[in-house]
Amino acid sequence: MIDYDYDLFVIGAGSGGVRAARTAAGLNVRVAIAEDLYLGGTCVNVGCVPKKLFVYASHYREEFLAAQGFGWLENNPQFDWSHLMSQKNKEIQRLQGVYENLLVNSGVKLINGKARLIDANTVRVGEQDFSCERVLIATGGWPSVPDIPGKQYIASSNEIFTLDSLPKRILIVGAGYIAVEFAGIMHGLGVATTLCYRGNKLLRGFDQDIRDFIASEMLKKGINILFDTRIETIEQKNGHYLALDQNDHAIETDFVMYATGRKPNTAGLGLEQLGVKLDSDGAVIIDKNYQTNIPSVFALGDVTNRINLTPVATAEAMALVSKLYSEQPKTVDYDNIPTAVFSQPNIATVGLTESEARNRFDDVDCYKSIFKPMKHSLSGINEKTLMKMLVRRSTEQILGIHMVGSDAGEIIQGMAIAIRAGATKAIFDSTIGIHPTAAEEFVTMRIPY
């Protein structure tokens, strides 16, 4: 038997990698983990966590306006970007410390530096080589920016989190959840915001009603959305930028951010030299057991470019560790995974879209409700909520639930549990609603349209 330095060597200390490392260590597996950038990965440092903090910050401008409808006199509050950044940085540093403590206290060897595979059982970090029985690739993804003239003037979502000051105007290119979320954030913080996209709808892959409704709500708030617009070049002029579209129309702005997708972070890991199979985007190809074509090499999370969500990566980590080192292996069920877009208003969804449901079944009932939330009866804000439920008529199976509105993510989390537990439309109908709430609408939908 070969005496390896480690049983498991994890490359990447993001959510998936950290969960795998400390879970394995808890099973008396000898584990090392290498990270060359920051503990916690994208989610903690330049993703979920700071973005949600920015979303909270951006709500207050509208909340101050809404407060007047409830008797609170306007006091003209001022926003301080540097204070928000300082507070955000403190929280990120705290979380990085939490991740470090979780690893070290569980017995994981934490190695700082860029790791790459030398062979199927050897990882090199700096000038030092480590032998290991198995290697786990958990390096996540990285923003992808197209190669156009003026690319050097383009920032990604990563750079937003380190801005010294807020621009007066911002151009955001893209239509995915990152683009939509940052459009709401920047607008809420008082930045004149333009969102442009080469297609004709936001949020590809979401339910069509959701896509149309969120665009309408964003436009009502004052966000400028330019559909069917493809940026060809970006020029710098007098301290500003000119983004020229396919019709040579110029969009003048102070900051250009691209949110046009992310690619798996596999460059420089030695995977291709070793013969690990990658797809055309650089994603690691794995089987149902998260194993690559090299038996000792595994991968999970965003680096595999399948379902790129932090909770999915952590679930995959626990499933992999249980398969490798436990007598009670677990699996990840990829059906009915809930997700949210922290746009303004929020979006949350679980299950099939209407088009997916109708393509799969010929007896689909659709229930939909659009209403003004009770809060806005006095707030003076022209915002509405959309709730939608898809049901298979013959079995009363809930196929999908979708929502645009305040606290959508909080509401749909509970709905996802109900769907996974097998709740039918009859069970929803027999459930007493909590009144007055928006969520009670889901148990009072009676007539399909």
Judging by DSSP bridges, how do beta strands 128-137 and 122-125 pair with one another? antiparallel
Judging by DSSP bridges, how do beta strands 262-264 and 141-143 pair with one another? antiparallel
Six token digits for residue 223? 């966000």
> Which residue bears the tokens 């013959």?
394
180 touches 202 (CB < 8 A): yes
Judging by DSSP bridges, how do beta strands 364-371 and 385-392 pair with one another? antiparallel
| Phi, psi for 45 (deg, rounded to 5) | -100, -45
> Which residue bears the tokens 């040579």?
248
Cα–Cα distance, 314 to 299 (Å, whole number): 12
Six token digits for residue 448? 């399909």
187 as an active site residue: the answer is: no
Six token digits for residue 233? 């070049």
Nearest alpha carbon to residue 245 among 235, 236, 232, 258:
232
- What letters, b where the CB count within 10 A reaches 16 and e where it falls short, cover 370-392? eeebeebeebebebbbbbbbbbb
Distance between first and last Cα of the chain? 66
Cα–Cα distance, 147 to 217 (Å, whole number): 32
Q: DSSP letter string over 387-401? A: EEEEEETTTTEEEEE
Please state, in angstroms and as integers, the Cα–Cα distance from residue 236 to each residue in 167, 239, 244, 351, following that order: 15, 7, 11, 45
Six token digits for residue 235? 């020029």
3-state SS track over 280-344: CCCCECCCCCCECCCCCEEECHHHHCCCCCHHHHHHHHHHHHHHHHCCCCCCCCCCCCCEEECCC
| Number of neighbours of residue 348 by Cβ within 10 angstroms | 24
Burial class (CB in 10 A: 0-12, 13-18, 19+), 5: middle
Six token digits for residue 317? 């980590």
Active site residues: 435
